Structure 1
Amino acid sequence: MTWSPRQEPLAALAVAGVGPVSLALARRALAADEKQLSAWSGVAGSGVLVLLGETHSLPWVDGAVYLGRDPAAPSLLLPCALAPEVAPSLLERALVAHAAAGTPLAVLPRSGLLVSVGAARTVARETLAAWLKTAEGAP
Protein backbone atom coordinates (compact mmCIF):
# COMPACT_ATOMS: atom_id res chain seq x y z
CA MET A 1 0.00 0.00 0.00
CA THR A 2 1.18 3.50 -0.69
CA TRP A 3 0.74 6.56 1.46
CA SER A 4 0.74 10.21 0.46
CA PRO A 5 0.89 13.49 2.35
CA ARG A 6 -2.36 14.29 4.13
CA GLN A 7 -3.97 17.60 3.17
CA GLU A 8 -4.97 18.29 6.77
CA PRO A 9 -2.77 16.63 9.41
CA LEU A 10 -4.52 14.67 12.14
CA ALA A 11 -4.19 15.83 15.73
CA ALA A 12 -1.57 13.67 17.43
CA LEU A 13 -2.89 11.25 20.04
CA ALA A 14 0.16 8.98 20.15
CA VAL A 15 3.82 8.77 19.27
CA ALA A 16 5.57 5.58 18.18
CA GLY A 17 9.19 4.60 17.85
CA VAL A 18 10.60 1.54 16.13
CA GLY A 19 14.14 0.20 16.50
CA PRO A 20 16.64 2.83 17.69
CA VAL A 21 13.88 5.45 17.70
CA SER A 22 11.99 3.40 20.32
CA LEU A 23 15.06 3.61 22.58
CA ALA A 24 15.32 7.37 22.09
CA LEU A 25 11.61 7.72 22.82
CA ALA A 26 11.96 5.71 26.04
CA ARG A 27 14.93 7.84 27.15
CA ARG A 28 13.00 11.03 26.42
CA ALA A 29 9.98 9.74 28.36
CA LEU A 30 12.16 8.75 31.31
CA ALA A 31 13.49 12.33 31.43
CA ALA A 32 9.96 13.60 32.11
CA ASP A 33 8.74 14.35 35.61
CA GLU A 34 6.36 11.99 37.41
CA LYS A 35 3.27 14.08 36.65
CA GLN A 36 3.99 14.05 32.93
CA LEU A 37 4.97 10.38 32.87
CA SER A 38 1.75 9.35 34.60
CA ALA A 39 -0.29 11.36 32.05
CA TRP A 40 0.81 8.96 29.29
CA SER A 41 -0.27 5.42 28.66
CA GLY A 42 1.72 3.06 26.53
CA VAL A 43 2.55 -0.32 25.11
CA ALA A 44 5.93 -1.78 24.24
CA GLY A 45 7.18 -4.83 22.46
CA SER A 46 10.31 -6.07 20.82
CA GLY A 47 11.78 -2.99 19.19
CA VAL A 48 8.63 -0.86 19.40
CA LEU A 49 7.23 1.66 21.89
CA VAL A 50 3.95 3.56 21.59
CA LEU A 51 2.98 6.35 24.00
CA LEU A 52 -0.54 7.80 24.05
CA GLY A 53 -1.48 11.17 25.47
CA GLU A 54 -2.70 14.66 24.78
CA THR A 55 -1.24 16.28 21.67
CA HIS A 56 0.71 18.98 23.53
CA SER A 57 2.17 16.50 26.02
CA LEU A 58 3.70 13.96 23.65
CA PRO A 59 7.51 13.92 23.63
CA TRP A 60 9.39 14.96 20.50
CA VAL A 61 11.86 12.46 19.13
CA ASP A 62 13.49 12.67 15.71
CA GLY A 63 12.25 9.83 13.51
CA ALA A 64 9.19 9.04 15.63
CA VAL A 65 5.77 8.58 14.01
CA TYR A 66 2.99 10.75 15.40
CA LEU A 67 -0.40 9.11 15.15
CA GLY A 68 -3.95 10.43 15.17
CA ARG A 69 -7.50 9.25 14.60
CA ASP A 70 -9.25 9.69 11.27
CA PRO A 71 -13.02 9.94 11.88
CA ALA A 72 -13.54 7.52 8.97
CA ALA A 73 -11.43 4.84 10.74
CA PRO A 74 -11.89 5.26 14.51
CA SER A 75 -10.33 1.87 15.33
CA LEU A 76 -6.99 2.90 13.84
CA LEU A 77 -4.27 5.33 14.85
CA LEU A 78 -2.83 6.54 11.56
CA PRO A 79 0.21 8.70 10.81
CA CYS A 80 -0.78 12.33 11.32
CA ALA A 81 0.91 13.51 8.13
CA LEU A 82 0.11 10.59 5.80
CA ALA A 83 -3.07 9.27 4.20
CA PRO A 84 -3.51 5.75 2.82
CA GLU A 85 -4.22 5.31 -0.89
CA VAL A 86 -7.46 3.48 -0.02
CA ALA A 87 -10.42 4.88 1.90
CA PRO A 88 -9.57 4.84 5.62
CA SER A 89 -12.79 2.95 6.38
CA LEU A 90 -11.78 0.14 4.00
CA LEU A 91 -8.29 -0.01 5.48
CA GLU A 92 -9.80 -0.19 8.95
CA ARG A 93 -12.14 -3.02 7.99
CA ALA A 94 -9.30 -5.03 6.45
CA LEU A 95 -6.82 -4.51 9.29
CA VAL A 96 -9.28 -5.15 12.11
CA ALA A 97 -10.52 -8.33 10.40
CA HIS A 98 -6.98 -9.72 10.17
CA ALA A 99 -5.53 -8.44 13.45
CA ALA A 100 -5.07 -11.01 16.18
CA ALA A 101 -4.99 -8.31 18.87
CA GLY A 102 -7.67 -5.84 19.91
CA THR A 103 -8.25 -2.28 18.83
CA PRO A 104 -7.31 0.44 18.53
CA LEU A 105 -4.46 -0.46 16.22
CA ALA A 106 -1.45 1.81 15.61
CA VAL A 107 -0.52 1.63 11.93
CA LEU A 108 3.20 2.18 11.27
CA PRO A 109 3.61 2.12 7.47
CA ARG A 110 7.40 2.57 7.21
CA SER A 111 8.13 -0.45 9.39
CA GLY A 112 5.06 -2.42 8.32
CA LEU A 113 4.03 -2.87 11.96
CA LEU A 114 0.52 -2.98 13.32
CA VAL A 115 0.48 -2.49 17.10
CA SER A 116 -2.53 -3.06 19.31
CA VAL A 117 -2.77 -0.26 21.86
CA GLY A 118 -5.97 -1.48 23.49
CA ALA A 119 -3.99 -2.84 26.42
CA ALA A 120 -2.10 0.43 27.00
CA ARG A 121 -1.46 1.15 30.67
CA THR A 122 -0.27 4.20 32.55
CA VAL A 123 3.47 4.56 32.05
CA ALA A 124 5.42 3.60 35.17
CA ARG A 125 9.03 4.76 35.36
CA GLU A 126 10.27 1.40 36.69
CA THR A 127 8.52 -0.59 33.97
CA LEU A 128 9.74 1.69 31.19
CA ALA A 129 13.29 1.69 32.57
CA ALA A 130 13.26 -2.12 32.71
CA TRP A 131 11.97 -2.32 29.12
CA LEU A 132 14.70 0.08 27.97
CA LYS A 133 17.41 -1.89 29.77
CA THR A 134 16.24 -5.11 28.10
CA ALA A 135 15.88 -3.42 24.69
CA GLU A 136 19.42 -2.07 24.95
CA GLY A 137 20.66 -5.59 25.67
CA ALA A 138 21.91 -4.80 29.16
CA PRO A 139 22.11 -7.73 31.59
Structure 2
Amino acid sequence: MSTPPLPLRWHRRATPLDAAAVAASGTVVAGLRTDTLLRVAAGARLRACAGRDQSWLVVLGDQVDLPWADGAVYLGWDGGVLVPTLAEPSPCADLLREPLRRHSDPQAGLIALLPGLVLAGPLPREPLDPARLGST
Protein backbone atom coordinates (compact mmCIF):
# COMPACT_ATOMS: atom_id res chain seq x y z
CA MET A 1 0.00 0.00 0.00
CA SER A 2 1.38 3.36 -0.95
CA THR A 3 0.40 6.84 -1.96
CA PRO A 4 0.33 7.73 -5.66
CA PRO A 5 3.60 9.08 -7.12
CA LEU A 6 1.82 11.83 -9.07
CA PRO A 7 -0.68 14.49 -8.07
CA LEU A 8 -4.09 13.21 -9.09
CA ARG A 9 -7.47 14.77 -9.48
CA TRP A 10 -10.64 12.73 -9.36
CA HIS A 11 -13.82 13.48 -11.30
CA ARG A 12 -17.24 11.88 -11.22
CA ARG A 13 -17.42 9.40 -14.10
CA ALA A 14 -20.14 10.16 -16.67
CA THR A 15 -20.88 6.45 -17.08
CA PRO A 16 -20.02 4.11 -14.18
CA LEU A 17 -17.65 1.24 -14.89
CA ASP A 18 -18.89 -2.31 -14.45
CA ALA A 19 -17.74 -3.56 -11.06
CA ALA A 20 -15.04 -6.21 -11.36
CA ALA A 21 -13.62 -6.01 -7.84
CA VAL A 22 -14.11 -4.55 -4.39
CA ALA A 23 -11.35 -3.14 -2.17
CA ALA A 24 -11.00 -2.49 1.53
CA SER A 25 -8.24 -1.19 3.73
CA GLY A 26 -7.73 -0.78 7.45
CA THR A 27 -10.64 -1.75 9.69
CA VAL A 28 -12.92 -2.42 6.69
CA VAL A 29 -10.85 -5.50 5.70
CA ALA A 30 -12.45 -7.72 8.36
CA GLY A 31 -15.98 -7.04 7.10
CA LEU A 32 -15.00 -7.64 3.49
CA ARG A 33 -13.22 -10.87 4.43
CA THR A 34 -16.31 -12.10 6.29
CA ASP A 35 -18.71 -11.44 3.41
CA THR A 36 -16.22 -12.89 0.91
CA LEU A 37 -16.14 -16.17 2.86
CA LEU A 38 -19.95 -16.25 3.00
CA ARG A 39 -20.20 -15.73 -0.76
CA VAL A 40 -17.60 -18.41 -1.51
CA ALA A 41 -19.48 -20.84 0.76
CA ALA A 42 -22.63 -20.05 -1.26
CA GLY A 43 -20.84 -20.96 -4.50
CA ALA A 44 -19.38 -17.67 -5.74
CA ARG A 45 -16.12 -17.98 -7.67
CA LEU A 46 -14.02 -15.16 -6.29
CA ARG A 47 -10.30 -14.39 -6.35
CA ALA A 48 -8.43 -12.26 -3.85
CA CYS A 49 -5.20 -10.36 -3.34
CA ALA A 50 -4.13 -8.97 0.02
CA GLY A 51 -1.30 -6.88 1.35
CA ARG A 52 1.49 -8.76 3.08
CA ASP A 53 0.53 -7.10 6.34
CA GLN A 54 -3.20 -7.81 5.73
CA SER A 55 -3.90 -4.05 5.81
CA TRP A 56 -5.81 -4.23 2.51
CA LEU A 57 -7.84 -6.73 0.51
CA VAL A 58 -9.04 -6.71 -3.10
CA VAL A 59 -11.64 -9.31 -4.13
CA LEU A 60 -12.27 -9.93 -7.83
CA GLY A 61 -15.18 -11.73 -9.47
CA ASP A 62 -18.36 -11.38 -11.44
CA GLN A 63 -20.28 -8.26 -10.50
CA VAL A 64 -23.24 -10.22 -9.07
CA ASP A 65 -20.94 -12.29 -6.84
CA LEU A 66 -18.85 -9.50 -5.36
CA PRO A 67 -19.02 -9.19 -1.58
CA TRP A 68 -20.03 -6.07 0.28
CA ALA A 69 -18.71 -4.34 3.39
CA ASP A 70 -19.54 -0.94 4.80
CA GLY A 71 -16.71 1.35 3.66
CA ALA A 72 -15.44 -0.91 0.85
CA VAL A 73 -15.06 0.54 -2.66
CA TYR A 74 -16.26 -1.15 -5.85
CA LEU A 75 -13.71 -1.04 -8.65
CA GLY A 76 -13.78 -1.48 -12.42
CA TRP A 77 -11.06 -1.91 -15.03
CA ASP A 78 -9.82 1.24 -16.74
CA GLY A 79 -6.68 1.02 -18.85
CA GLY A 80 -5.46 -2.09 -17.01
CA VAL A 81 -5.90 -0.44 -13.60
CA LEU A 82 -8.71 -1.02 -11.12
CA VAL A 83 -10.30 2.33 -10.19
CA PRO A 84 -13.52 3.26 -8.36
CA THR A 85 -16.53 2.59 -10.57
CA LEU A 86 -17.90 6.10 -10.08
CA ALA A 87 -14.65 8.09 -10.25
CA GLU A 88 -12.16 8.86 -12.99
CA PRO A 89 -8.55 9.84 -12.31
CA SER A 90 -6.80 12.66 -14.10
CA PRO A 91 -4.35 11.97 -15.67
CA CYS A 92 -6.17 8.97 -17.13
CA ALA A 93 -5.53 5.41 -15.96
CA ASP A 94 -3.83 4.46 -19.26
CA LEU A 95 -1.09 7.01 -18.56
CA LEU A 96 -0.81 6.02 -14.89
CA ARG A 97 -0.53 2.22 -15.21
CA GLU A 98 3.24 1.89 -15.76
CA PRO A 99 4.35 4.68 -13.39
CA LEU A 100 2.13 3.16 -10.69
CA ARG A 101 3.55 -0.31 -11.31
CA ARG A 102 7.15 0.96 -11.15
CA HIS A 103 6.41 2.99 -8.01
CA SER A 104 4.62 0.24 -6.09
CA ASP A 105 5.80 -3.17 -7.36
CA PRO A 106 7.33 -3.74 -10.80
CA GLN A 107 6.11 -7.36 -10.71
CA ALA A 108 2.53 -6.50 -9.75
CA GLY A 109 -0.16 -7.83 -12.04
CA LEU A 110 -2.87 -6.06 -10.06
CA ILE A 111 -2.84 -2.30 -9.57
CA ALA A 112 -5.78 -0.67 -7.80
CA LEU A 113 -5.84 3.12 -7.65
CA LEU A 114 -8.12 4.81 -5.14
CA PRO A 115 -8.09 8.42 -3.94
CA GLY A 116 -4.92 8.69 -1.83
CA LEU A 117 -4.04 5.01 -2.13
CA VAL A 118 -2.34 2.56 -4.50
CA LEU A 119 -2.72 -1.19 -3.91
CA ALA A 120 -0.44 -3.53 -5.84
CA GLY A 121 0.12 -7.26 -5.82
CA PRO A 122 -0.03 -10.42 -7.88
CA LEU A 123 -3.12 -10.79 -10.05
CA PRO A 124 -4.92 -13.82 -8.57
CA ARG A 125 -5.77 -16.42 -11.19
CA GLU A 126 -7.14 -19.29 -9.10
CA PRO A 127 -10.47 -19.32 -7.25
CA LEU A 128 -10.19 -18.29 -3.64
CA ASP A 129 -9.43 -21.04 -1.14
CA PRO A 130 -11.32 -20.01 2.03
CA ALA A 131 -8.70 -21.66 4.24
CA ARG A 132 -6.06 -19.33 2.79
CA LEU A 133 -7.98 -16.04 2.85
CA GLY A 134 -6.21 -14.98 6.02
CA SER A 135 -2.84 -15.41 4.30
CA THR A 136 -3.85 -14.27 0.79
Stretches of 4+ aligned residues off by more than 6 angstroms: none
SS of the equivalent of 1:28 reads helix
Pairwise CA RMSD of aligned residues? 2.0
How many Å apart are 1:97 and its aligned residue?
A: 3.7
SS of the equivalent of 1:69 reads strand
Structure 1 counterpart of 2:108, from 88, 97, 102? 102
Moved more, 58-67 or 92-101: 92-101
> Do 2:21 and 2:76's aligned partners in 1 also have CA atoms closer than 8 Å?
yes
Number of positions where the alignment pairs a residue of Structure 1 with one of Structure 2: 125
Moved more, 58-67 or 101-110: 101-110
> Do 2:50 and 2:121's aligned partners in 1 also have CA atoms closer than 8 Å?
no
TM-score computed with the length of structure 1 as normaliser: 0.78
Match of 1:52 in 2: 60
Q: Give ranges in structure 1 of 5+ residues lacking alignment.
A: 133-139
Structure 2 counterpart of 1:27, from 19, 25, 34? 34
> Do 1:77 and 1:105's aligned partners in 2 also have CA atoms closer than 8 Å?
yes
SS of the equivalent of 1:89 reads helix
Q: Give ranges in structure 2 of 5+ residues lacking alignment.
A: 1-7
Larger Rg: 1
Deviations 1:12-58 (A, max 9, x none): 1001110111110001112232522xx00111122111110001110
Matched, 1:126 2:131: yes
> Do 2:10 and 2:89's aligned partners in 1 also have CA atoms closer than 8 Å?
yes
Match of 1:9 in 2: 16
How many Å apart are 1:120 and its aligned residue?
A: 5.0
Q: Given the superposition, is the C-alpha separation of residues 34 and 127 from structure 1 closer, same or farther in structure 2, using an over 3 Å criterion?
A: farther
Q: Return the alpha-carbon distance in structure 1 between the equivalents of residues 124 and 64 of structure 2.
A: 22
Q: Return the alpha-carbon distance in structure 1 between the equivalents of residues 124 and 42 of structure 2.
A: 21
Structure with a larger share of its residues in helix: 1
SS of the equivalent of 2:31 reads helix
Match of 1:137 in 2: none
Matched, 1:80 2:88: no
